[in-house]
Amino acid sequence: MPYHEFDCSKCLPERKKHAVTKGTGDNLATALPLGYLNTIPGSISERGCAYCGAKHVIGTPMKDVIHMSHGPVGCTYDTWQTKRYISDNNNFQLKYTFATDVREKHIVFGAEGLLKQNIIEAFKACPDIKRMTIYQTCATALIGDDINAVAAEVMEEMPDVDIFTCNSPGFGGPSQSGGHHKINIAWINDKVGNVEPEITSDYVINYVGEYNIQGDQEVMLDYFTRMGIQVLSTFTGNGTYDGLRAMHRAHLNVLECARSAEYICNELRVRYGIPRLDIDGFGFEPLSQSLRKIGMFFGIEDRAEKIIAEETARWKPELDWYKERLKGKKVCLWPGGSKLWHWAHAIEEEMGVKVVSVYTKFGHQGDMEKGIARCGEDALAIDDPNELEGLEALEKLQPDIIFTGKRPGEVAKKVRVPYLNAHAYHNGPYKGFEGWVRFARDIYNGIYSPMHQLSGLDISKDEIPTDRGFVTQRMLSDAKLPEEIAKSESLRRYTGKDDIIADLRKKNPPYFTPIVKAEAAE
């Protein structure tokens, strides 16, 4: 096994099996790191907890719901700052954060009364919202608070509300992935099948494992709608609580992020006979193939082809403008879980970059199998890295840019490696044809940022050149390009708008909450 041992982790010998280099001739039977195990003590992991995975990744993107953390107020930290799963009801689920604010006295005397009081107060404060999810945290799980019993009591007293309880305290797994699993299973056990939806199309899907990061879901919804497909529910970005209770009536589950949501797809297949189709929403070719497959399933492939032709004609010249300027650039693909395999091959093929490393914070070995299968030779694959390993890898690999979360990303900046936010994006959405061009633009802007170039000069000791002016991005990126490409009239930079979601919402198909109504409700 081509394990890679980091110098900084020699004092943690168990870490050696968590990193491999994919050498010439290696395959999945010869190169695969361990994964989804408890973090080794002494290794400062970048993982989140099982509560975070259940609530902040999967639960909270549901848009018409009061999301209540039963625990200390600090557990809600991630809601405001780092999440960008927007919604078309004026971002209710992002703007309002609820916690029961458990204190020391509640740990001693119990917090069930506090929870009930909070539930009722929250419903009264938000009279238009009739749905709630309650998330158990470490503290309240350890004292044995019965959140199911409290929820049942409130539902009896307030018959117009419905409450979902999620028992995924922070310690409930090696990482946030434990929480993904728990909330998937809890939702299908407790809520799916409780609502009968109105079916408005012959072609009905659940769009699963999609979290509407900066509008990803709305871009894909637009394609599906143009194909005449009814999206019964989205699990869970921009999704509705009651829509997700009706998942059992779909004809097909279209699965995007298998890491976080394959469990519910598998269960829907076993319990309701709804097949699971895994797709890629990123990259022109993978997305085209995905739309074709969905079209083929329903016998409407021609509708998919029409969209593919229109979108490719509109956006391919812009993607290729960036590809010419990104060729050969080295990237570290260091996201949380699924993007390492969604992006690994597509960015090499369609943007010309070279993936020199993939890592996953909370992925399982199955994610690494997909990532390693899709990346090229010599890529360094790391499971659950710590900060020092990340720094050592950056020094060794000398990437031109990394795609990762904001915390490791800020660390990378300090060693002068530009980073793009792989979780929440810089200027997304990145899904869809236009979104993929936006991603390419962000990569270009990161690598060729004039500010980044200037940051290499230390005014306290370096000689500052005064004989030349400011070097622009274009001067940097085009310096070595052949003239016919640099001045090509068939290629062009991104010409879309800053906000591409507003126009989609103006189309106002029936499944969108009308904007006027949502704003009036504020």
Partner 1 sequence: MTKITYKVTSEHPFPADAAAAAASLAAYEALDDVTKARVDQMVDWIMKNCLWQFHSRAWDRKRQNEGILGIAAKLLAGEPFTPETPEDRCYWVDSVTLQRAYQATCPWLATMSKDDIKALMKELHARIDYLTVTGSLNEELTDKHY
Question: Among 81, 492, 436, which residue's Cα sits nearest to residue 288?
Answer: 436
Q: How far is the CB of 260 from partner 1 (least distance, A)?
A: 12
Tell me how far apart the alpha carbons of residues 259 and 209 are, in angstroms, rounded to a whole number.
8
Tell me how far apart the alpha carbons of residues 368 and 504 are, in angstroms, rounded to a whole number.
35
Quick one: which H or E segment has residue 465?
Answer: none
Helix (H, G, I), strand (E, B) or coil at 20: strand
Q: How far is the CB of 40 from partner 1 (least distance, A)?
A: 5
Measured over the CA atoms of residue 405, residue 47, residue 259 and residue 71, the dihedral's sign is negative
Q: How far is the CB of 377 from partner 1 (least distance, A)?
A: 12
Question: Among 361, 357, 322, 327, which residue's Cα sits nearest to residue 343?
Answer: 357
State both tokens at 408: 């490791």
Helix (H, G, I), strand (E, B) or coil at 71: coil
Helix (H, G, I), strand (E, B) or coil at 143: coil
Kindly tell me which of 11 and 520 has the beta carbon lying closer to partner 1: 11
CB 414 within 8 A of CB 432: no
- Strands 401-404 and 330-333 turn out to be parallel
Question: Among 237, 185, 241, which residue's Cα sits nearest to residue 58?
Answer: 237
Q: How far is the CB of 150 from partner 1 (least distance, A)?
A: 28
Helix (H, G, I), strand (E, B) or coil at 495: coil
Backbone angles phi and psi of 262, in degrees to 5: -70, -25
Kindly tell me which of 119 and 252 has the beta carbon lying closer to partner 1: 252
Q: How far is the CB of 155 from partner 1 (least distance, A)?
A: 29
CB 409 within 8 A of CB 419: yes
State both tokens at 387: 């900060």
Kindly tell me which of 162 and 262 has the beta carbon lying closer to partner 1: 262
Q: Please give the C-alpha separations between residue 457 and each of 100, 452, 453, 465, in angstroms, as whole numbers.
A: 49, 10, 8, 10
Kindly tell me which of 115 and 380 has the beta carbon lying closer to partner 1: 380
Kindly tell me which of 277 and 476 has the beta carbon lying closer to partner 1: 277
Kindly tell me which of 5 and 78 has the beta carbon lying closer to partner 1: 5
Q: How far is the CB of 473 from partner 1 (least distance, A)?
A: 31
Kindly tell me which of 36 and 315 has the beta carbon lying closer to partner 1: 36
Q: How far is the CB of 383 from partner 1 (least distance, A)?
A: 11
Tell me how far apart the alpha carbons of residues 21 and 32 are, in angstroms, rounded to a whole number.
9
Kindly tell me which of 167 and 238 has the beta carbon lying closer to partner 1: 167
Residue ranges binding partner 1 (CB under 8 A):
1, 13-14, 17, 27-29, 32, 34, 36-38, 40-41, 251-252, 258, 262-263, 266-267, 269, 273-280, 285-286, 289, 292-294, 296-297, 341, 345, 364-366, 369-370, 373-374
Tell me how far apart the alpha carbons of residues 226 and 220 are, in angstroms, rounded to a whole number.
10
Specify the amino acid at residue 302. Answer: D
Instruction: Concatenate the DSSP letters of all residues of 271-301 into one string.
Output: HH---EEE---SSHHHHHHHHHHHHHHHT-H
Tell me how far apart the alpha carbons of residues 10 and 12 are, in angstroms, rounded to a whole number.
5
Kindly tell me which of 181 and 505 has the beta carbon lying closer to partner 1: 181
Q: How far is the CB of 278 from partner 1 (least distance, A)?
A: 4
Q: How far is the CB of 275 from partner 1 (least distance, A)?
A: 4
Q: CA triplet 113, 114, 116: central angle to 5 degrees?
A: 65
Kindly tell me which of 251 and 452 has the beta carbon lying closer to partner 1: 251
Instruction: Concatenate the DSSP letters of all residues of 113-142 into one string.
Output: HHHHHHHHHHHHH-TT--EEEEEE-HHHHH
Q: How far is the CB of 28 from partner 1 (least distance, A)?
A: 5
Specify the amino acid at residue 54. Answer: A
Residue 387: how many other CB atoms lie within 10 Å: 15
Q: How far is the CB of 228 from partner 1 (least distance, A)?
A: 17
Q: How far is the CB of 437 from partner 1 (least distance, A)?
A: 21
Q: How far is the CB of 22 from partner 1 (least distance, A)?
A: 12
Question: Among 340, 347, 327, which residue's Cα sits nearest to residue 404?
Answer: 340
Kindly tell me which of 252 and 332 has the beta carbon lying closer to partner 1: 252
Q: Please give the C-alpha separations between residue 227 and each of 223, 291, 293, 308, 467, in angstroms, as whole numbers.
A: 6, 9, 12, 11, 58
- In the chain, count of helices (H) and strands (E)? 23, 14
